Amino acid sequence: MSDETKKSEDVTKIAFTPERQKAFEATVAKYERKASALLPTLYLAQEQFGFLSPQVMVHVGKLLDMPPREVFEAASFYTMFRKKDMGQYLLQVCQNVSCCMMGSDDLFQVIKEELGIGPDEVTADKKFSLQPVQCLGSCDTAPVVQINDDYVERLDAEKFRALIKKLAAGEKVAEVNS
Amino acid sequence: MKLLAPERRILTKGIDTPNLNTIEVYEKQGGYSAMKKAFGMAPDAIIGEVKASGLRGRGGAGFPTGMKWGFVPFNLGKPIYLLCNADESEPGCFKDRLLLEKNPHLLIEGIIIASFAVRSHKSYIYVRGEYTLAAKIVQKAIDEAYAKGYLGKNILGSKHDLDLVLHRGAGAYICGEETGLISSLEGKKGYPRLKPPFPAVSGFLNCPTVVNNVETLCTVPWIIQNGGATYATYGTEKSKGTRLFCLSGWVNKPGVYEEELGLPLKVMIDHYGGGMKDGSKLKAVIPGGSSTPPLTPEEVDKCLLDYDHIATFGSFLGAGGIIVIPEHIPLIKILERISEFYWDESCGQCTPCREGTGWLFKTIRSIEHHHGHKEDIDDLKRTATSMMGATICALSDAAAMPVLGFLKKFPQDFQALLDEAERKRKVSAGRKLDGQETTEMTEVTR
């Protein structure tokens, strides 16, 4: 089987769950044009599939009557869309001015020591990945790490190390963040 | 200088009231009464009040809000869109997040009044993707407002219709530029567009579009309730009203503080910020977010937080992000983070910005790692200067200004690093003769 047929086969198998399909239709209805629903649709897709594979982007294009090229163009432009499997916990460490001043370099070091990964790398067990990010808009509580959707604020090396250990042991971000 | 008394606050009065983000508590505090008052006024009268208030856009550019609304051609027969810019992403700024999370109904009320004034029946709040908590809170508030009949068809019998949609961005600073935001909302990459045509005439879907910052729209209910003239009594002669200042960096009490324009910067840092952390000595202050040139300690002592006074020190109020830098943090590191940011966030459309931001960053990083050459300073100045005013949007200028500012105000810091590089090269040249390896350039990787 050629790679081409394999790809097209995969695409036909991709579909939103019924609930997400409903959410998608409700979203599209809010906008003047279908294309405006691109970002929310990509979010729905990412939620379901974990990341945006070329096949998923082709599917999103079909839903929105957009050429796959345009979907890919946009998806690659916005940093919050994952183009590969980033595992269970994406650690987004702010490296900008206030966070860097308050010690974010130490947090990268902790990740290196505890998880052995650097920027854009994923641990072998697919539990953690690291993405250095730009200002998260939480400079008064620097340094800040966004773990998937949740902000964890006022960190230091030791707090962060303990947090990673708890997550590795199976606790949820909300539990360790309270 | 008298401080702004808590009961005189315009944007943050009672902001810590528990559950203020619910419609019940917001209304108990007097919320939505400005909306009701506005429906009894003529739309042009509302624009007139906002003009009289002297309110200037709080997103960074500081354009007079009433004037922006006045530019909208109401009789083109096209729909008019009101977009709320909540894509707050400038390093050092976090004020809009506070309003979105703590007082979303204030924003919604502001949007309803503004939409009535500019005859818009469809509005979007474009919130940055990372603000997931804010997005949830605002969506819930929108749902509550619909349930109460404050959004939708014929709001409270006013014959004014308004649909309001929350739209999440996905991690792109450039979408905070108003035309980049419009491109993004149309389902494209967030590429800014050439002006003219200005969005007021041709913006979202080529229709007249008003783009206002969160804080700007949150100020509107107060102006309608109390009158533009009353608002104009706050602040200074030319910089009217209050603003949210985001204080971060090496201070004891970082946070968002509302104050009248014209407050001495020193008072902001010492009184609100509780002074320098650990008694450290002040080295520099970035007064309005990462794009604004820094101030020296002597300038900090003199500078007033108003649009004109700060300009005399070659800087800007920007979006209100005050970053306090202590003596022990190398300025080169700060500048490196800033220039990497603009390199990362340049959309890549215009050559001076796409290439220039990369050159600035690589040169600065090379100086930081003691690989600089004495020509680097002139190269940086030349590159930065050639990036100013040469592109579709202001990101290129935003990248260039801090570089020029830091080099101008703290030349000795950069010279010291170049001297150190020169010294190291001499040592290594000596070693080279002994047959040892040497590295010339650090690799710059993303």
- DSSP for A92-150, written as a single string: EEE-SHHHHHTTHHHHHHHHHHHH---TT-B-TTSSEEEEEES--S-GGG-S-EEETTE
> What whole-number distance in Å separates Cα of residue B196 and Cα of residue B354?
22
Q: What is the dihedral of CA B257, B263, B264, B267, to 10 degrees?
A: -40
| B381 pLDDT higher than 80 | yes
Beta bridge partners of B127: B86, B168
Query: How far is CA B132 from its chain centroid?
Result: 19
Residues B324, B247 contacting (CB under 8 angstroms): yes
Please state the rounded mean pLDDT for residues A7-11: 59
A98·B248 Cβ contact <8 A: yes
| B440 pLDDT higher than 60 | no
Average pLDDT, chain B: 95
Residue that has been written with the tokens 């809170």 in this structure? B137
Distance from CA of A80 to the nearest CA of B (A): 5
Residues B374, B260 contacting (CB under 8 angstroms): no
> What whole-number distance in Å separates Cα of residue B129 and Cα of residue B347?
17
> What whole-number distance in Å separates Cα of residue A160 and Cα of residue A145?
9
Instruction: Please report, in angstroms and rounded to a whole number, the separation of the first and last CA atoms in chain A.
Output: 52
Residues B291, B404 contacting (CB under 8 angstroms): no
Q: Which residue of A has its CA nearest to B136?
A: A149
B341·A134 Cβ contact <8 A: yes
Q: What is the pLDDT of residue B435?
A: 58
- By the CB < 8 Å criterion, does B38 face chain A? no
| B3 pLDDT higher than 70 | yes
Distance from CA of A82 to the nearest CA of B (A): 11
Instruction: For chain A, give the number of residues.
Output: 178
Candidates B91, B133, B333; nearest CB to A135: B91
Is residue A46 left, alpha or beta, with left meaning phi > 0 and alpha meaning psi from -120 to 50?
alpha
Residues B60-86: pLDDT tens digits? 889 999 999 999 999 999 999 999 999
Q: Binning pLDDT at 50, 70 and 90, where does residue A94 land?
A: very high
How many residue contacts between A and B have a Cβ separation below 8 Å?
A: 141
Distance from CA of B164 to the nearest CA of A (A): 9
Residue that has been written with the tokens 């050159």 in this structure? B359
Residues B285, B300 contacting (CB under 8 angstroms): yes
- By the CB < 8 Å criterion, does B120 face chain A? no
| B347 pLDDT higher than 60 | yes
How many Cα atoms within 13 Å fall on the side-chain side of residue A82?
25
Please state the rounded mean pLDDT for residues B32-53: 98
Give residue A71's identity as a one-letter amino acid code. V
Please, what sign has the CA dihedral across residues B279, B283, B285, B290? Answer: negative
Please state the rounded mean pLDDT for residues B341-353: 97
Candidates A80, A95, A133; nearest CB to B337: A95
B91·A100 Cβ contact <8 A: no
List Cα–Cα distances, B309 to A172, B32, B126, B232, B322, in angstroms: 49, 36, 32, 18, 16
Residues A100, B337 contacting (CB under 8 angstroms): yes
| A176 pLDDT higher than 90 | no
| A1 pLDDT higher than 50 | no
- What's phi and psi for A130, nearest 5 deg? -125, 135
Of the listed ranges A97-101, B303-307, B429-433, the one predicted with least confidence? B429-433
The interface pTM score, or ipTM, of the predicted complex is 0.93
> What whole-number distance in Å separates Cα of residue A165 and Cα of residue B232?
54
Instruction: For chain B, give the number of residues.
Output: 446
Distance from CA of B65 to the nearest CA of A (A): 24
| A153 pLDDT higher than 50 | yes
Q: Binning pLDDT at 50, 70 and 90, where does residue B438 land?
A: very low
Residues 6+ apart with CB under 8 A from B284: B294, B295, B296, B297, B325, B331, B334, B409, B410
Burial degree of A104 (CB within 10 A; 0-12, 13-18, 19+): buried
According to DSSP, residue A103 is labeled T
| B139 pLDDT higher than 70 | yes
Task: Tally Cβ neighbours within 10 Å of residue B238.
Answer: 13
